[in-house]
Structure 1
Amino acid sequence: MDNIISKLYEIIKESSDLIATEESIQLYMYEVFTELLGDIFIHVNQTIKEQKQQEGWKVKREDWKTVQFIFGPVRYRRTLMADQENQNHYPLDEWLGIRKYQRHSPLVEVKVAELASKCTYRDTAETLKEWTAVAMSHQTVGSLLKRVGEAQAREDEEMVIELEESAALPGGKKVDYFYAEADGVFVRGTTKKKSLEVHHALVYEGWQKNGKRVSLKEPKAIMTTKKTAGFWAEVQAFTATHYALQHAQIITNSDGGPGYTADKFQETFSQSNYPVLNQLDAYHIFQGLNRAFGVQSNLFKQNIHQALKKHDLEALTIWLDTYESTLEETQAVEKLASFRTYLLRNWDRIFDWREKVEQVPKDARGLGAMESNQRHISFRMKKRGMHWSEVGCEAMVKVKQGILNQTLREAYLHQQTRSTRQQRKVKQTVRVSSLMHQKTRQSVGAKKGTIPLYAPHSSAMGQLIKSFR
């Protein structure tokens, strides 16, 4: 500690301004941290090696390895050992949870993925270089994001497999009402004139107020570029794992497009004892209305809107026919015909779910949160000339999903080679207290002394000293 204080004093004295002082101190602290952590790893390696030797493992050689941590590269020595079956191991790396050929710490990999989900790979690399001791290329940023995203994807796949193999539904949280919305977002692929569809589902328990602001209660997202069947399998596995929906009323919302029809919701939430309510998304109805009648308000548009609100098919047909008779352009007629077909095909789904249930929950609101939540995908993955490979697109949306659901780090660590069982074994193998243990010095007992008295023994101070004897 004295050496660190002396070094800091020297840096402050030699620096010309406070900015240079802080930068120099930061670099120095990075050096101190990396050196100390490297020494600790070497001590841990020695402890593990001795125990493995007692178990019959043989030492083959000593190697050096460098791992990039958030505060700098840590270089340490590890031992290559052969077990009783002559299989090679680096016990220290297994204890730390470091994969073979891994060059970045778990925190660095997860932080890079989280940052890359919000800005470009190049911006991520520049930000890391400016604010941390991590320096890497934008290609490395992309590789790390794919690795972390694949961990979340494997976690979701295992959840689906576990549900398929289980004999009964897992117990989860019980709710009276459960809400689900689904839609797709298309992003540009690397193949010319080919897009990739990101399937996106949003599930939540209702709404909650914070002052005047209303937000979704316990919102969770499921995103993937898999085919429709794989997407709905993940939605079903996620909801069945976290919720017990047997006695819950399910209310769903979608635009009715391919892959997001009412039967998909019914099949996915078939565990509920009640029929699944599926309404047509109001945003897409309004979008179709503007496409057919224009954005400006007019008599036809207002009356058609009222017919939809009252669910009056006869009035809707009259106003559509009347408006069609005023059209002269073929393109306008085609737009109106497309809108009419869309409404008639989904007529039974045009309703407000609050009019379909017997007891409307307190603070119930209309559905339609999906469109605003699509920005998590569109803001990062669309425009600006971006093109995505299938692997990169899946990894990105899985990282997005993990961040929104707060499961990314847990999924990443679970997919590392260090399992829960290994972690328990690790705690038994190496105890930090044994590494930091210092031999105690022999006690010399209590030291003797006297209190000088500069007054008569008969005085008050003299009497007090006598009481101590």
Structure 2
Amino acid sequence: METTTLEYYAIQLKNIIDSEDDILEKEANMHLLSEELMNSVWCMTIQMKENEVKSSLSSEGYKAYKKEERTVQYAHGRMTFVRTPFKKDKNDKPFFPADEWLGLGKYQRNSPGFTAKIMQIAPDITSYEKTSRVINHLTTNTVSRSTVMRAVKLYGKRADEYHKHQEVYPEVIENKDKKKVDKIYIEGDAVCFKKQNGEMQFVHVFILHDGVETVSNNRKQSKNMLYFVDIRRKKARDRLKSYLQTHYDMKNIMVIANSDGGSGYEEAVFRDIAGVCGSFEYFIDRYHVSRKLEERVQLEEFIPLFQQAINSGELNKLKMVFDTYESNLETEEQFYHSKKLKNYLIRHWKHLASFTKRGYNIVKEGIGIMESQLRHFTYRLKHCGRHWGKGLNGMAQLLASQKNGDFKQIYLRSWKSEFSLDDSLRGNMSNRLDLRDMNKFTPHVGVKQGRLTLPDKKYVR
């Protein structure tokens, strides 16, 4: 950049500082000035890049046409720049190298990076409207609640695309590369929400981790925890099952499962997820047992006695507590609740036994954590005075990505290059798949990643 240009902006900044405006007004003007400076550099850089590729494009038969202006919102501010369209024939659709370099699609108002910021902020704020207001306060950009909603839905689509790709082309890992651990823990539960049409919708959450590790004197945490989330229970369950098969050497691993035993989260479901493994132990979540006691025991002073009987693991003690409890009941409703509780506890009795009662010398750690982990989802998805629409799955996937750390991989679709099949294998498969199946592999059309150089091949628009 020429020194005179720097001097010009230095003088403008000095004028802002010397002005009689209050400090807030001064900082706002400084922000606008820095935006203007960046815009100047932006335009100069695009001009330099276009000069570099003009000759190569000309050799391919492209002609430069009249420059066109475009405005795009970036995280650092709004950029207005001109770029050159190229065509082989005047009736062809224009090709803009600058748009390719910057990863900009046609009519795209927000840059890929700024859209990513919107997606990352949205889960931390309780509504789309509040998200847009926060962004508008912190930047010179203008973002509406509809823009936030579309960004969330876009992430949901890309997450679905990512998970679907994993189902079609599961990652191949040799046994020697698979994780070999003594134990893994899996839990599952669902959260219910009301949709805009009044129907109920569930978000299903499965979690996986390798046990507990000490991170400080007074703090422990689960190791390698991952979340498998979807509004379709089968999808979330199948992703967890596939992950175990491709990432763990299961033949010697003890699988410890825990749930409330509700529909879709029974012992059989978790046995199916675990598949062939070293051993399998299923527990009914003690938090839900405690809630069941509070719900069904009509005389509160008996709740500790029921807890002691359950902890002892001796069915005779439980029956003695029931005998004493029922001798103090008076109404039909009380006996009704007692019968319900008795059936519940006896039905799940073997799943309430402790590790010791099952013959294991294992410290009870890392199990029964689902309720605390669900708060990450319920805080954002529930109790905010709204009914969800199509954005529910997108928001759930964003919340899961916050925990799993895979936001960038899903958003940029970098997995396409990491997991793609080589050309020869794709050719062999095409001979075996009919047209209906091939529709599964239609490329997703969306924002392209920017490139700094043009390839030799022709651009297909």
Verify same fold: TM over 0.5.
yes
Determine whether 1:310 maps to 2:309. no
Question: Which residue in the other structure is 2:116 paired with?
Answer: 110
Q: 2:212 touches 2:366 (CA, 8 Å); kept in 1? A: no
Determine whether 1:403 maps to 2:402. yes
Cα shift at 1:416: 10
Cα shift at 1:57: 4.1
Match of 2:133 among 123, 126, 133: 126
**Per-residue Cα deviation, 1:208-263 (whole angstroms, up to 9, x for no partner):** 2222122222222111101x322211212334444443332111110010111111
Q: Distance in 2 between matches of 1:173 and 1:167?
A: 10
**Per-residue Cα deviation, 1:54-84 (whole angstroms, up to 9, x for no partner):** 2344556643322210122222333444579
Question: Which residue in the other structure is 1:184 paired with?
Answer: 190
Q: Distance in 1 between matches of 2:132 and 2:299?
A: 43
Q: TM-score, normalised by structure 2?
A: 0.82
One-letter code of the match for 2:252? H
Q: 1:167 to 1:21 in 2, by over 3 A?
A: closer
Larger radius of gyration: 1
Q: Distance in 1 between matches of 2:13 and 2:273?
A: 62
Which one is further off, 321-330 or 7-16?
A: 321-330
Q: 1:206 to 1:66 in 2, by over 3 A?
A: same
Q: Distance in 1 between matches of 2:153 and 2:71?
A: 22
Q: 1:236 touches 1:268 (CA, 8 Å); kept in 2? A: yes
Match of 1:54 among 32, 47, 59: 59
Within 5 Å, which residues of 2 pair with 1:155-166? 155-163=162-170
Q: Distance in 2 between matches of 1:213 and 1:425?
A: 43
Cα shift at 1:173: 3.1
Q: 2:100 touches 2:450 (CA, 8 Å); kept in 1? A: no
Q: Distance in 1 between matches of 2:340 and 2:88?
A: 70
Question: Which residue in the other structure is 2:236 paired with?
Answer: 231
One-letter code of the match for 1:197? F
Question: Which residue in the other structure is 1:380 paired with?
Answer: 380
Q: 1:280 touches 1:351 (CA, 8 Å); kept in 2? A: no
Within 5 Å, which residues of 2 pair with 1:12-411? 12-59=17-64, 62-82=67-87, 89-119=95-125, 120-163=127-170, 171-192=177-198, 194-209=199-214, 210-226=216-232, 228-272=233-277, 274-293=278-297, 296=300, 298=301, 300-353=302-355, 356=358, 358=360, 360=362, 365=365, 367-389=367-389, 391-411=390-410
**Per-residue Cα deviation, 1:141-200 (whole angstroms, up to 9, x for no partner):** 11111112322232122222222x9697794433221111111100111122x2111101
Cα shift at 1:372: 0.8
Q: Distance in 2 between matches of 1:266 and 1:133?
A: 54
Cα shift at 1:3: 2.3
Q: Distance in 1 between matches of 2:63 and 2:17?
A: 50
Q: TM-score, normalised by structure 1?
A: 0.80
One-letter code of the match for 2:155? V
One-letter code of the match for 1:177? K
**Per-residue Cα deviation, 1:59-117 (whole angstroms, up to 9, x for no partner):** 56643322210122222333444579x77643332333223332211221121122111
Cα shift at 1:405: 0.8
Q: 1:16 to 1:88 in 2, by over 3 A?
A: closer
Q: 1:16 to 1:101 in 2, by over 3 A?
A: closer
Q: 1:179 touches 1:205 (CA, 8 Å); kept in 2? A: yes
The number of residue pairs the alignment matches comes to 420
Q: Distance in 2 between matches of 1:44 and 1:336?
A: 78
Question: Which residue in the other structure is 1:438 paired with?
Answer: none
Q: Which segments of 5 or more consecutive residues in structure 1 lack a partner in the other structure?
A: 431-469
Q: 1:59 to 1:246 in 2, by over 3 A?
A: farther
One-letter code of the match for 1:307? A
One-letter code of the match for 2:25? A
Cα shift at 1:264: 1.3
Q: 2:103 touches 2:450 (CA, 8 Å); kept in 1? A: no
Cα shift at 1:427: 5.3
**Per-residue Cα deviation, 1:436-467 (whole angstroms, up to 9, x for no partner):** xxxxxxxxxxxxxxxxxxxxxxxxxxxxxxxx
Q: 2:62 touches 2:88 (CA, 8 Å); kept in 1? A: yes
Q: 1:178 touches 1:249 (CA, 8 Å); kept in 2? A: yes
Q: Distance in 1 between matches of 2:41 and 2:13?
A: 17
Q: Distance in 1 between matches of 2:351 and 2:361?
A: 20
Question: Which residue in the other structure is 1:434 paired with?
Answer: none
Match of 2:7 among 2, 5, 17: 2
Q: 1:176 touches 1:249 (CA, 8 Å); kept in 2? A: yes
Q: 1:97 touches 1:417 (CA, 8 Å); kept in 2? A: no
Q: Distance in 2 between matches of 1:143 and 1:425?
A: 22
